[in-house]
Structure 1
Amino acid sequence: MNAKDPRSPGHPSRRPTRRQRAQRSGQPTADAHRPDGVRLQKVLAEAGLGSRRACEQLIADGRVMVDGVTVRELGTRIDPETQSVSVDTMPITTHTGKVYLAFNKPAGVVSAMSDPEGRPSLQDYLRDRPERLFHVGRLDAETEGLLLITNDGELSNRLTHPSYEVSKTYLAEVRGPVARDVGARLKSGIELDDGIAHVDSFRLVDSTPGYALVEIVLHSGRNRIVRRMLDAVGNPVQRLVRTQFGPIALAEQRQGKVRELRPDELGKLMEAVGL
């Protein structure tokens, strides 16, 4: 027998594996397939990954994994309530009935679904939503910017739990000038009434006589923490805007606008808290 013959002893076999044969024959991958489940391309389309045809192409290209197994078969069915799905290694949310929104909160709106004092509240912007929603963390009434709203209790709990250290980014207009050592002081820690607080990063964005614009990143969720820290270093806040919550950025979203998170944003948010 010729040494180059693939049937010769010691020569690696070219016989396809069981999974490769299943892929070629169009049979579902047993590791992921649930006979009574929902077609994978339908799950992807409903998660916002594109049209059904576009999602079929994602599967065919080997970009979709279910429970850690790459799936290429269009006949695969899954249970979206119990199985994990990722596209290009980014987890996506397949649970039905879950809502994930980003709201650019104007000043004067309280972070509550209703207000006994009659002030503007989140309900004024969410009247058309049938779901029972709640906000993730809060912004004080005069602080503007990004507020996440959902009905996913587990995600909300993780985003607000200190152990996950999800960062928040703020732009603050303050009274100037800002002393050169302010950033170092804020990073090393400021003594407040409820304990020491510190920022992850501090950057002077702009400065004019009597005025400065600074960017602060921190993961603390304590009440009015940014205002109290800047007041403690002698730079009271005139205006405060949260521009980012974890991987979700406010970007060009108009004030007062509510939008659904994109699948890639939601995947990054889930990844940040281990979901």
Structure 2
Amino acid sequence: MQERLQKIIAARGYTSRRKAEELILAGRVKVNGIVINKLGEKINDDAKIEINNRELIKSEKKYYFLFNKPRLVLTTLKDPKQRPTVADYFKNEKVRLFPVGRLDYDVSGALLMTNDGEFANFVMHPKYEIQKTYLALCNGNVSKHQINNLMKGVVIDDDYKTKAINAKLVKYNVEDDESIIELTIAEGRKHHVKKMLIAADIYLKKLKRTTIEHLQIADVPLGKYRSLTAHEVKQLYGLFAQYKSKK
């Protein structure tokens, strides 16, 4: 049976399909000893695949973790500048794990880690509209007008209009002149929430992602992680099935 190369890489648990495409275009993938550097190539699912000259062995068991990422940790597996990465927190796991999507270096909170490339692909893909909730510590007293602007929609990246599914003021601290606001989005452009707050004239001081769909990090200490239950994984895959059934 033949499948697209990036799909087979994801199925073998190396990375997401999107990241696999980047590796292919960078000329870092070989199939049966031949470099493949363009997308769309179909290969046999039992073909020998090498990434960075190391053979890719299929991982039979799938792992899913919810990680409470600290600030100043990169959502990547390696960093040439030797800064802390999410991989540093999973050294005791015997399987190669990769992050599902990204969380900015200076943002803390909920991040999924897995070796299931197809799972990562649909959770990351904007068309499936996976909801993510954030708490933002902001300077000053955020007004109802500013909150309403987030709900009505703001323009980021010059001409892209985006809006929060929900947004509310959680708390205003008079003494420190700081507000905490909560907002939920179903998109994920680079620095998406930060850009939304700038567009609403809100000065962000610190950002934390608290929830990915039904998964909350309230019970996961900072810098720690837990396995997803079978039910939680099924719930996420259920969102994928719901989307497919509407088509």
Partner secondary structure for residue 181 of structure 1: helix
Contact 1:248/1:269 (<8 A) preserved: no
Q: Tell me if 1:138 matches 2:102.
A: yes
Task: State the match for 2:80 in structure 1.
Answer: 116
CA distance in 1, matches of 2:237, 2:186: 17
Give the 4+ runs in structure 1 shifted more than 6 A: none
Amino acid at match of 2:153: G
Contact 2:135/2:209 (<8 A) preserved: yes
What is the aligned-residue RMSD (CA, Å)? 1.6
Deviation at 1:129, TM superposition (A): 1.7
Contact 2:100/2:112 (<8 A) preserved: yes
Task: State the match for 1:235 in structure 2.
Answer: 202
CA distance in 1, matches of 2:173, 2:217: 25
Task: State the match for 1:155 in structure 2.
Answer: 119
Deviation string, structure 1 residues 60-91 (Cα, Å, up to 9, x no partner): xxxxxxxxxxxxxxxxxxxxxxxxxxxxxxxx
Task: State the match for 2:221 in structure 1.
Answer: 254
CA distance in 2, matches of 1:123, 1:202: 32
Task: State the match for 1:105 in structure 2.
Answer: 69
1:17-166 aligned at under 5 Å gives the runs 96-166=60-130
Bigger relative contact order, structure 1 or 2, given CA contacts below 8 A and separation 6+?
Answer: 2
Match 1:201 to one of 147, 161, 166: 166
Deviation at 1:132, TM superposition (A): 2.0
Contact 2:146/2:201 (<8 A) preserved: no
- Consecutive unaligned residues of structure 1, counting only runs of 5 or more, are 1-94
TM-score by length of 1: 0.63
Deviation at 1:191, TM superposition (A): 1.2
Task: State the match for 1:271 in structure 2.
Answer: 238
Contact 2:131/2:213 (<8 A) preserved: yes
CA distance in 1, matches of 2:89, 2:190: 23
CA distance in 2, matches of 1:110, 1:227: 17
Deviation at 1:96, TM superposition (A): 4.8
Q: Name which one, 1 or 2, has greater alpha-carbon Rg.
A: 1
CA distance in 1, matches of 2:230, 2:138: 36
TM-score by length of 2: 0.70
The percent of aligned pairs where both chains have the same amino acid is 35
CA distance in 2, matches of 1:223, 1:163: 16
Aligned residues: 181
CA distance in 2, matches of 1:249, 1:264: 14
